[in-house]
Amino acid sequence: MGKPTGFMEFGREPAHVRAPLERVKDWAETHPSYEEKTLRDQGARCMDCGIPYCHSGVLVNGLAMGCPIHNLIPEWNDLVYRGQWREAIIRLHKTNNFPEFTGRVCPAPCEGSCTLGINQPPVTIKTIENEVIERAFLEGWVVPEPPLARTGMKVAVVGSGPAGLAAAAQLNRAGHEVIVYERDDRVGGLLVYGIPNMKLDKSVVERRVQLLAAEGIKFVTGVSVGRDVEPEKLVSDFDAVVLATGSTVPRDLEVEGRELAGVHFAMDFLVANTKALLGNTATPISAAGKNVVVIGGGDTGTDCVGTAIRQGARSLVQLEILPRPPETRAEDNPWPQWPKVYKLDYGQEEAAALWGADPRLYCVNTRRLIGDAEGRLKAIETVEIEWVHSPGARPEMRELSGTEKTLDAGLVLIAMGFVGPAPDLPAAFGCKLDHRGNIVHDDDLMTTVPGVFSAGDCSRGQSLVVWAINEGRRAARGVDKYLMFGESVLPDY
């Protein structure tokens, strides 16, 4: 695929990003577009590798190896190299309902499994993907495609994040009538309120939602199932229901001082800020002029860093309980596994440009939060830790005596991940939960309640947008089989 000698002729094009000190002044996306020749050269680097792992989409040691939605990556890389852009978007849309989302926010496990990545920088798969879909929109190739016929079956989808939208898109394509219920005021779920604008501009989400609506999907916003609509009514009024409510219960920080004013969950901070940017009445939790401490080193923590910087934080520290990753793959992290290596994401890069260093402190645990006489946060006490590994046992955390520190803090943001979906709604439908609090389902993603399916983070736990799309598509096929006597016109991935 691509030019046979392309990987020997062209190097990986460095990411095109606006300068950190420029982009922190606004909320616009950070990545400008590429010239066509550059993209064609990058597509030419895709090797005729025989057994490509980039679209394998399996879990190895709990991490994604290759693309979870099995994108036909070598095929559309070859088409881009040859300048056949319209054919490229056809191949891309065959497996991915929303390449404009994944092309922006996916961490690209496909690139971690690129064969070229064994001894060279991998192909710029994520960049090419995003450029293909943006060119397709620009050229007018992406148009509504309503189904030619309707089955007479009705399906309710609860939640309009990436899993819910993917399920709705596929079910509508199969000819079923689909109504999506969203408790917030805008369609998009995590895509709108969980991901900051500089990573995913909300006009991009709205563009796709309008397209889905033009294809016949009905969206109902500001309606919370379980409060405004009884689950029993959905079960009785619809032929099937898909629960795609996400993993929304945050992992809390159980330390002294947790109740102090100025301590917030990361998602509360991000949601309030985005709502304010979109003109809602919500008042953002402000980092302006404050010493900010972000607890947690994942993507949500990075988004808190970037958001706090744009709000005008005085200083910023990010605490990570795990060790600093190595610069290159460790021996126990071989290709084609996802490479667990050190990198500066956009937020840390911006902090380093402002204050001279990566804001992350590794192997640091929070001991307590300290407040003033009025109950307002003023500092955080930390201690360094080490991880003790014993054969056959889970690693244990051990504090290092004499490493205690006190950091000034006017705002602490807890970004320690999520523990599962809010349990009330699955319980109201009668769905069983597993030991982690996720909804139990079979291979077709049907829950323990006949006709009720689950998809995305509420089903698999906190994960990537690309896994949510995967499960939304799988759930749609499961619903289609359930409604159409064991047969489905939808693909099995």
Section 134-140 average pLDDT: 97
CATH 1.10.1060.10 in the chain: give the residue spans.
6-139
The pLDDT-based confidence of 1 (bands split at 50, 70, 90) is low
Is a pLDDT exceeding 80 seen at residue 2?
no
Tell me the C-alpha to C-alpha distance, in Å, between residue 263 and each of 231, 286, 311, 321, 367.
Answer: 34, 12, 17, 18, 14
6-139 CATH fold: Fumarate Reductase Iron-sulfur Protein; Chain B, domain 2 (1.10.1060)
In the chain, what is the greatest distance between 2 CA atoms, to the nearest angstrom?
A: 71
Position 50 pLDDT exceeds 90: no
Gap between the terminal Cα atoms of the chain:
23
Instruction: Specify the pLDDT at position 280.
Output: 83
Phi, psi torsion values for 447, nearest 5 degrees: -75, -175
Report whether pLDDT(454) > 80. yes
Cα–Cα distance, 44 to 7 (Å, whole number): 7
293 membership: H or E segment, kind and range: strand 291-295
> Which pLDDT score, from 0 to 100, does residue 69 have?
96
Report the share of the chain in percent with pLDDT over 90: 92
Fold (CATH) for 252-416: FAD/NAD(P)-binding domain (3.50.50)
Query: Where do the CATH 3.50.50.60 domains begin and end in the chain?
Result: 154-248+419-483, 252-416
Return d(Cα 292, Cα 415) in angstroms, integer. Answer: 13
CATH superfamily of 154-248+419-483: FAD/NAD(P)-binding domain (3.50.50.60)
Whole-model pTM: value is: 0.96
